[in-house]
């Protein structure tokens, strides 16, 4: 009889709750670097992450990028996932939120350019006694 590999068994997980299936997929990504399991996670969470980001005001292209980046982070950080600490959905959405926050910070940093109007003004007269003690 032909034994199934772990990679194909991930797609056949039917026992338990849907959350337990996702935990099984997360473990398969973490321990086996299983692309089938990542595909299941992607199909489940990428559209939901995109929708959440769009509802927060991002355009569709940015939301697609953040959903993709979130799935890349799932691939990279699956070994850090602990089902005792967070449900898979919470972990994925927290990662998406963190990526969105990082992107907004980078964007704001790039937009904040110094101009002559925003540079620190030096007072004409400085009370040297006050500063030198």
Tell me the per-residue pLDDT of 29-44, one tens digit each, with 9 for 90 and over. Answer: 999 999 999 999 999 9
The answer as to whether 13 is a domain residue is yes
Judge whether 126 lies within some domain: no
- pLDDT value of position 107: 80
Instruction: Read off the DSSP letter of residue 80.
Output: G
Task: Choose among 44, 49, 1: nearest CA to 25.
Answer: 44
Provide the CATH number for the domain around residue 77. Answer: 1.10.1740.10
Whether 58 is in a domain gets the answer: yes
Return the structure tokens found at 104: 């907004």
Task: Provide the residue range defining the domain that includes 47.
Answer: 6-110
How buried is 82 (Cβ within 10 angstroms: 0-12 exposed, 13-18 middle, 19+ buried)? exposed
- pTM for this entry: 0.70
Which band of pLDDT confidence, cut at 50, 70 and 90, is reported for residue 128? low
Q: Is the pLDDT of residue 113 over 50?
A: yes
In this prediction, residue 1 carries a pLDDT of 40
Residue 42 lies in a domain: yes
In a domain, 65, yes or no: yes
Number of domains observed in the structure of the chain: 1
* Domain annotation covers residue 127: no
């Amino acid at each position: 009889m032909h034994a199934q590999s772990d990679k194909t068994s991930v797609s056949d997980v039917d026992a338990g709750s849907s959350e337990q299936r996702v935990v099984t997929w997360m473990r398969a990504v973490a321990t086996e670097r299983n692309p089938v399991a990542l595909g299941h996670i992607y199909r489940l969470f990428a559209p939901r992450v995109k929708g959440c980001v769009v509802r927060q005001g991002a355009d569709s292209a940015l939301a697609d990028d953040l959903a993709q980046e979130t799935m890349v982070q799932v691939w990279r950080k699956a070994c850090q996932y602990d089902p005792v600490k967070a449900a898979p959905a919470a972990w994925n959405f927290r990662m998406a939120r963190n990526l969105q926050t990082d992107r907004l910070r980078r964007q704001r940093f790039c937009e904040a350019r110094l101009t002559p109007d925003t540079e620190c003004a030096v007072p004409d007269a400085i009370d040297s006694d006050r500063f030198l003690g």
